[in-house]
Amino acid sequence: MKMKMKMKMKKNDQNGGNTILSVSPLKAITLHLICLLGLALAFWIPSHIYSLDLITHPSQTLRMISVFLAPVLILLYSHLRHDRTQCSYVKAVGRGLLALPAGAVVNALGATILGAPVGFEYFSKTFNWSLLMSLLTFVPAACVFGSSWTDWHRIFARTKASESTDYMISLPAHGAVIGAWFGAWPMPLDWESPWQEWPICVTYGAIAGYLVGLVTSLGCIIFCNRQQHLKEE
């Protein structure tokens, strides 16, 4: 009953009995629009106010994008935390802040293993790129799931989503990683274009993949919501 409510509060998770927040399609659209707006502003402000862009000043631009995007994503996804009876909003924000450098280390190591250039001249670029990737991948999951290994393994290793928030986290994160991987393809080509430098093309690919993931997750949420309505009817 009352299936037209915008938000379903205090629903028990089958895995652990935690109080979670189930997001309706309308709410998901609103949250995605806020993410898109935050991402657009994070790119617009360095370009139009500080005259910075990824091609001419990649390190500074990436750092400013992360600075402006981090509060948006952390504050937004902390509102969707699953263990609401045990985790306050402030604690969820803290989890997101802690996950930012931790996720950056993981992304930096992964990029280095996969062939990212190594050297003192690349350290700043790799570090700031890793912070952005951490925001797109690790931070939302940390805000929502905390240290729940079961949830992390379920949506990232098994890619088995069971809630609308799972789609909102897993698909954009996977999209960012896959997009970054495809974005690295032009780097070794001898086109001698400035956008082929590390990590410019990889960043563009990650952002494109993240956007595709956002749209795909929204489609999955709408589809699953309709399927649920049909089953209950």
Which tens digit of pLDDT belongs to each residue from 126-144? 999 999 999 999 999 999 9
Residue 11, H or E segment: strand 7-12
Mean pLDDT of the region 95-119: 94
Please give the C-alpha separations between residue 222 and each of 13, 19, 75, 225, in angstroms, as whole numbers: 20, 22, 24, 5
151 DSSP assignment: H
Q: Give the confidence band of 15 by pLDDT, cuts at 50, 70, 90.
A: very low
Which tens digit of pLDDT belongs to each residue from 168-222? 999 999 999 999 999 999 988 878 888 999 999 999 999 999 999 999 999 988 8
Q: Domain map of the chain by residue range?
A: 24-232
pLDDT at res. 188: 83
pLDDT at res. 147: 87
Please give the C-alpha separations between residue 68 and each of 3, 39, 52, 92, 225, in angstroms, as whole numbers: 36, 8, 14, 19, 32
Mean pLDDT of the region 83-87: 85
Mean pLDDT of the region 94-119: 94
Residue 24, H or E segment: none
Residue 20, beta-bridge partner list: 11
Q: How many degrees, rounded to 5, is the angle at CA 207 between CA 203 and CA 213? A: 145
Residue 223, H or E segment: helix 200-232
